[in-house]
Amino acid sequence: MPHKLSFEYPKVENQRQIRIQQALADVIKTARLYKQTFKRKLESIFAQYLEKSSDYQESQKAESQYIATRRDEAGWNLDSLKREILKLSDRYGLLIISEARRIDIDDLKGNTLLRIHIDDSRFKGHGSSLVQSSIFSVHGSDKQYVLDDSGTCIPRYALRFITHEERNRIAARYGYILTGLENNPKDHVLEARHRGLAPTQHELTNYNISNTDKDLTRRQQEFLLNRAGTQRLLPITKTSHALRSNKFYPFIEFGDLFYLHKARPGSGLPDTYGLGGGMVLLDLARVPATSIRAQYTPKAVKEYQGFGRKKLDERQSTDEQHERERAMVSAIRNREIHIGPVVPDDAILAWSAGPHEKAWRPLDEVTPTLESDSSTGRTYYQDTLQPVQKLGRPIELQWSMSLGLKSKYGHPERPPMHQPIQLSADEQVFFDYLMKNEGIKFGNLGKKEFVEKALKIDYGRATTAYEGLKTKGAAVGVPSLKSFMPCRKLEMK
């Protein structure tokens, strides 16, 4: 059974002990590299499968297998690691002393050169003046942790990819005056979409919820957030790879790209373009433990409270067990944590346009998602009624974007930006469609009605945008897949 481990190197006094510690560190480094290589290989195989597969059911099966393998291989193989350390024993004369939740590697004089802490014994607590009274670190590392409502230690710092509305609420706190649709800023930047606890009509239509007169429990809310997208809570992540929806396309809306924002159905308002929301860095030490739940942990999985799905049109019904398994897969895939329903503003530490940026930005650098042509300085905000043609600046795409995040001590690090290219509004529409739908089949490119319905622009403009994307290298034909695909770079080898 794999274990979570931390490695502590006590202070030593002579060069021989330093050499032994270095040899032990090399063994651990090699084992860690193997773990990372195995994980990247799994992710690469799964990503390649999604690129080629058009069968949703088969994609689900492949994802379940990928998640099961990742779960089985998570952590360290302690027996294998001890065997590798024993190979150094003949050369250096080492003793392996095993205790209940700890292993000491000593020399023949009884000096401890390496201490391996196992599972929960890794953590040591420190007092805190924040909302959470204790912050934890692991022996041998500066990375910090806090507790969720089940008493599980989770990383103190987490990410949330935010909507353009949430981005606007941040901007409103730092000098922008919001007008139009958003002239009444919310109490908090991050607020759950649904305030009520009674089942919504959407949930009742789709799931076998029998006690319609009773409020949903927290565990049921968490399940429905994973499966139905109903947000009485807010999903965040600690993952180091691209987040994917239940239909396998990325969630990310980059903050420096323009996106199509659909008007509310029946409102009679036009669709418009605005900047993506980007993402924020959260300090969970400023959020009560009772408002945090790590959905991917074994304890959380056991406590899921779900519902079977109803038969609807051509969709077949599913039982509760199947739905709970799908919720588990979603949570593990995205390393999902649910917080809220209320998240204090001071838990938001910084903002970034996306994982391709090199560093976090201060919150006072956040701009609204649309700005007026007549704007001077930082004083005026025009809401999403602004038509596309009034955007007064070029649409830029940061090219060769890496969707992965690297994490050290809980703080994401990113590779530098690549040289941007500029896309016209129509080219951006076309590119967004390709990103969301994993490309477009060659056969459909010649179908006028299909293209106009998919892109919401006329066929002549779509053809011009198609040629522009090819010329700029933003998208390319892939004969093996019979598709016109976006040229993006996932951080998977």
Report the CATH number at residue 437: 1.10.10
pLDDT band at residue 243 using 50, 70 and 90 as cut-offs: low
Which pLDDT belongs to residue 22? 94
- Asked whether residue 315 is assigned to any structural domain, the reply reads no
d(CA 272, CA 456): 12
Domain contains 297: no
Residues 383 and 461 in one domain: no
Q: Do residues 139 and 117 make contact, with C-beta atoms less than 8 angstroms apart?
A: yes
- Smallest Cα–Cα separation from 165: which of 141, 188, 139? 188
Q: How open is the CA angle 314-319-325, to the nearest 5 degrees?
A: 105
Residue at a domain's end among 96, 122, 148: 122
In a domain, 34, yes or no: yes
What pLDDT is recorded for position 311?
Answer: 83
Whether the per-residue pLDDT at 127 is higher than 50: the answer is yes
Full domain range(s) for residue 197:
157-286+326-395
What single DSSP character describes residue 369?
S
Residue 422 or residue 110, greater confidence: 110
Tokens of 251: 């969630």
178 lies in the same domain as 220: yes
Q: How far is CA 451 from CA 263, 442, 467, in A?
A: 20, 11, 14
Residue 379 shares a structural domain with residue 460? no
Tell me which of 395, 412, 443 is where a domain ends: 395
pLDDT of amino acid 252: 66
pLDDT, mean of residues 344-359: 84
In the predicted model, is pLDDT for residue 462 greater than 90?
yes
Name the residue with higher pLDDT: 157 or 474. Answer: 157
442/434 Cα distance (integer angstroms): 12
Strand, helix or coil for residue 271: coil
Q: Identity (one letter) of the amino acid at 105?
A: I
- 148-186 pLDDT, tens digit each: 998 989 999 888 888 877 888 888 787 665 554 444 556
* Range of weakest confidence among 92-96, 197-201, 217-221, 370-374: 370-374
Mean pLDDT across the stretch 116-128? Answer: 89
**Could you tell me the pLDDT band of residue 427, with boundaries at 50, 70 and 90?**
confident
Are residues 381 and 433 both part of a single domain?
no
Query: Is residue 277 included in any domain, yes or no?
Result: yes
- Mean pLDDT score of the chain: 77
Residue 415's pLDDT is what?
34
Where residue 136 falls among pLDDT bands split at 50, 70, 90?
very high
Place of tokens 């009624």: 385
Shortest CA distance to 143 belongs to which of 413, 360, 408, 412? 408
Distance CA 124, CA 153 (A): 11
Q: End-to-end CA distance of the chain, in Å?
A: 27
Q: Are residues 27 and 88 in the same domain?
A: yes
Mean pLDDT of 189-201: 82
| Closest by Cα among 96, 116, 170 to 8 | 116
87 and 183 fall within a common domain:
no
The C-alpha atoms of residue 466 and residue 448 are separated, in whole angstroms, by 13
Residues 92 and 183 in one domain: no
- pLDDT of 417 reads 33
Q: Which two tokens stand for residue 19?
A: 């050499």
Strand 157-161 and strand 279-283: pairing? antiparallel
| Size (the chain), residues | 493
pLDDT at 265 exceeding the cut of 60: yes
Q: Does residue 391 sit in the same domain as residue 429?
A: no
Flag whether 269 is in a domain: yes
Same domain assignment for residues 362 and 428:
no
Bond before 341 cis per omega within 30 degrees: yes
In terms of domains, do 372 and 478 share one? no
- Is the per-residue pLDDT at 105 higher than 90? yes
How many domains does the structure of the chain reveal?
3
Say if 130 falls within a structural domain: no
Q: Tell me, yes or no, whether 352 and 245 share the same domain.
A: yes
Is 301 a member of any domain?
Answer: no
Which helix (H) or strand (E) segment is 407 a member of?
A: strand 406-408
Q: Which residues of 198-211 are buried (b: 16+ CB within 10 A; e: fewer)?
A: ebbeebeebbebee
CB hemisphere CA count around 101 (13 angstroms): 9
In angstroms, the CA 210 to CA 463 distance is 51
- Pull the structure tokens for residue 397: 């795409």
- Inside any domain, residue 314: no
Chosen domain end from 353, 374, 395:
395
Distances (CA, A) of 339 to 148, 288, 347: 9, 9, 11
In the chain, the percentage of residues whose pLDDT exceeds 70 is: 77
- pLDDT band with cut points at 50, 70 and 90 for residue 335: confident
Q: Which amino acid is at 155?
A: P
Name the 3-class secondary structure at 327. Answer: helix
One domain for residues 249 and 332? yes
For the segment 435-462, the average pLDDT, to the nearest whole number, is 89
- Alpha-carbon distance 334 to 403, whole Å? 13
Decide if 277 contacts 369 (C-beta within 8 A): yes
* Residue pointed to by tokens 């759950």: 192
Model confidence at 391, pLDDT cuts 50, 70, 90, reads very low
Does residue 190 carry a pLDDT above 70?
A: yes
Confirm if 143 and 157 have CB atoms less than 8 A apart: no
Assess whether pLDDT exceeds 80 at residue 29: yes
Q: Is the pLDDT of residue 440 over 80?
A: yes
